[in-house]
Structure 1
Amino acid sequence: MAALVIAEHDNASIKGSTLNTVTAALACGGEVHVLVAGENAGAAAAAAAQIAGVVKVLHADGAGLGHGLAENLAAQVVAVAGAYSHLLFPATAAGKNVAPRVAALLDVTQISDATKVVSADTFERPIYAGNAIATVQSTDATKVITVRTTGFDAAAATGGSAAVETIAAVAASASSTWLASEIAKNDRPELTAAKIIVSGGRALGSSEKFNEVLTPLADKLGAALGASRAAVDAGYAPNDWQVGQTGKIVAPTLYIAAGISGAIQHLAGMKDSKVIVAINKDAEAPIFSVADYGLEADLFAAIPEVAAAI
């Protein structure tokens, strides 16, 4: 049977997390189809059809699907689930909101945060904040999987020529209604898609110092800004900058950790980065155990010097 990837999109384009999920779906064997459920999402469906390896795109268009409400999207997935052996979601905030509902409606066990497909019914996933890897096997007829996108390369966004099939949209649920959204504007790359990330920790001391010290370096590198949970909890940075087990999982080409001690929770979210640079005045900080390059120094002196040298 085929695998179905539930696409994340903005009704106009496909988000990068979908490309990583397609790669995971291809590893499951069989054909890979993509579901694009939205409102006036023809452009997103056309973009999905261009993804390499995708054979078919299911396009469901309706007012109830326009804002990604979990209840409506879950019902849409369940409506087509009978034709698929695997249902794959990116392990993002949106995917984690919908996948458990689908698993419950289908009465199957969800496989969360898959980082490797061993075979069609066997998967690897991290446990204990990434300190151990569990190999899990599912005997469910339909496997509901959230995919940790950092564990899979992105499929090519172009080169495919999948057929687009229009399917009926499910009726909108009466249990939830979209009222409005407040979207933060950010001129920087999205954290989970950024090639370079500059992250700060509680050692920065205040939101003013956080911006004063890290922003010039991030501007020079064209980087996204991130933060440890301690920095976010202290109010130095907004919630959507948090990197870690309870924040965002990232794997950029370069990750610069400034004033971050390296708690297990944080390491679980960034240790797959290609190159990790740690700046901390505490020589015993755990962050140095995963860093490719470590600088034992006062970040308030080191970071401006690095920024000036670029």
Structure 2
Amino acid sequence: MSRTYLVIAEHRDGKLRQVALEALQAALLSSSEGDSFTAAILGGEGTAALAEELAGYPVSQIHLLEADGLNAYNPEAYAAALLPLLDAVRPDAVFLGHTAIGRDLAPTLAARLQAGQLSDVVAIERTGDEVSFTRPLYAGKAFEKRSFASFPWVVTVRPNNLPAAAPAENGRRADIVRTDVAAPASLRTVVKEVVRKTSGKVDLSEAKIIVSGGRGVKSADGFKPLEELASLLNGAVGASRGACDAGYCDYGMQIGQTGKVVTPEVYIACGISGAIQHLAGMSGSRVIIAINKDPEAPIFKVADYGIVGDLFEVVPLLTQEFRKALA
């Protein structure tokens, strides 16, 4: 029996998010021969170009849901657009990124489908007809494997843990079904404007390289060397809660148990002592580099490489050497 898999493709600033392609890869890994794949993209004017881009990937159909009220994420507006699509497509499984939007939207979709839900999946294995999903527990100290007893499913995928789906072979392109979505009669909330306080061109949750600062940066100006290094490496700048609480940066940059959970290829911790709450948000990084004046700082226990020194001396030297290497 063939199954239908639906991927909700997120986008930001006119570009498909990397996690959208990772969610598609998750659907591909969970499927068997003969299954079909469809995707949904929600947005306002200009979203059609994203649908054209996604059409080059291994999906058979893309549902383009357009409305002025979908320019920015609004739970009520997104639900009003997606629920009729769920009723029409009746997917056996829905995959989303484990992002702020995915975490908020997935329970609504699961309730409508009367589906089981698994969140924050970091690995998928298929053995015969059995599909197991791995997700972290206790801030990454343990992992569990779960599988669904029956269809339908709703699954959210943690960014930067699964590879992105590759473009379709032989130049195949998906059909795009365009649907103009009528605004709901009444909305309890309306998004008038989105104000971004975080700096940097790279999304923190999807960044391959993160340069993060703690209380050791001493001030808002102390982040400037970190921003220069991150910009050079095409990375993002993060922060510990201590730095955020001290007013050195916005809470949107916070990494840790009460902030964002990140899994970059390289995590450079500058002036961060390594409190357990911060480690919960970054201990899954592939390579951790710690820079701290205190040789006894807990961050060195989890770091792959440690530099004992003043970050205001070390970071500019690193920037200088990276600039030479990249030249």
TM-score exceeds 0.5:
yes
Looking at structure 1, the residues matched to 226 and 14 of structure 2 have their Cα atoms a distance apart, in angstroms, of 33
Residue pair 2:76, 2:187 contacting (<8 A) in 1 also: no
Percent of aligned positions that are identical: 39
| Match 1:4 to one of 3, 6, 9 | 6
Shift of 1:307: 3.0
Matched, 1:142 2:149: no
| Equivalent runs, 1:38-77 vs 2, <5 Å | 38-40=43-45, 41-51=47-57, 53-77=58-82
| Match 1:242 to one of 254, 257, 262 | 254
In the TM superposition, what whole-angstrom CA distance separates every residue of 1:85-139 from its partner, at most 9, and x where no partner exists? 1111111111112112222344444211011223465311111001111112223
| Equivalent runs, 1:39-188 vs 2, <5 Å | 39-40=44-45, 41-51=47-57, 53-82=58-87, 83-119=90-126, 122-156=132-166, 161-167=173-179, 169=181, 171-172=183-184, 173-184=186-197, 186-188=199-201
Matched, 1:18 2:20: yes
Matched, 1:270 2:270: no
Residue pair 1:71, 1:98 contacting (<8 A) in 2 also: no
Matched, 1:281 2:293: yes
Report the CA distance shift for 1:63/1:299 in structure 2 as closer, same or farther (over 3 A): closer
Residue pair 1:111, 1:146 contacting (<8 A) in 2 also: yes
Residue pair 2:23, 2:95 contacting (<8 A) in 1 also: yes
> Considering only aligned residues, what root-mean-square deviation do their CA atoms show, in Å?
2.5
Report the CA distance shift for 1:288/1:55 in structure 2 as closer, same or farther (over 3 A): farther
Looking at structure 2, the residues matched to 241 and 84 of structure 1 have their Cα atoms a distance apart, in angstroms, of 36
Looking at structure 2, the residues matched to 10 and 221 of structure 1 have their Cα atoms a distance apart, in angstroms, of 21
User: What SS does structure 1 have at the residue aligned with 2:188?
Assistant: coil
Report the CA distance shift for 1:46/1:293 in structure 2 as closer, same or farther (over 3 A): same
Could you list the runs of 5+ residues in structure 2 that have no partner in the other structure?
A: 323-327
In the TM superposition, what whole-angstrom CA distance separates every residue of 1:40-61 from its partner, at most 9, and x where no partner exists? 321121122122x222211122
Looking at structure 1, the residues matched to 318 and 66 of structure 2 have their Cα atoms a distance apart, in angstroms, of 50
In the TM superposition, what whole-angstrom CA distance separates every residue of 1:120-173 from its partner, at most 9, and x where no partner exists? 653111110011111122235321111102220112367551111234636425
Alignment: residue pair count: 308
Could you list the runs of 5+ residues in structure 1 that have no partner in the other structure?
A: none
Residue pair 1:3, 1:85 contacting (<8 A) in 2 also: yes
| Match 2:266 to one of 254, 260, 280 | 254
In the TM superposition, what whole-angstrom CA distance separates every residue of 1:235-284 from its partner, at most 9, and x where no partner exists? 11212222234333333332211111223332333333332211123333
| Match 2:230 to one of 193, 218, 227 | 218
**Residue type of the partner of 2:50?**
A
- Please name the residue that 2:325 is paired with: none
- Please name the residue that 1:304 is paired with: 316
Looking at structure 1, the residues matched to 151 and 231 of structure 2 have their Cα atoms a distance apart, in angstroms, of 49
Residue pair 1:54, 1:160 contacting (<8 A) in 2 also: no
**Residue type of the partner of 1:237?**
C
TM-score (norm 1): 0.88
Looking at structure 2, the residues matched to 66 and 306 of structure 1 have their Cα atoms a distance apart, in angstroms, of 40
| Match 1:292 to one of 304, 313, 316 | 304
Shift of 1:14: 1.6
**Residue type of the partner of 1:25?**
A
Report the CA distance shift for 1:131/1:101 in structure 2 as closer, same or farther (over 3 A): same
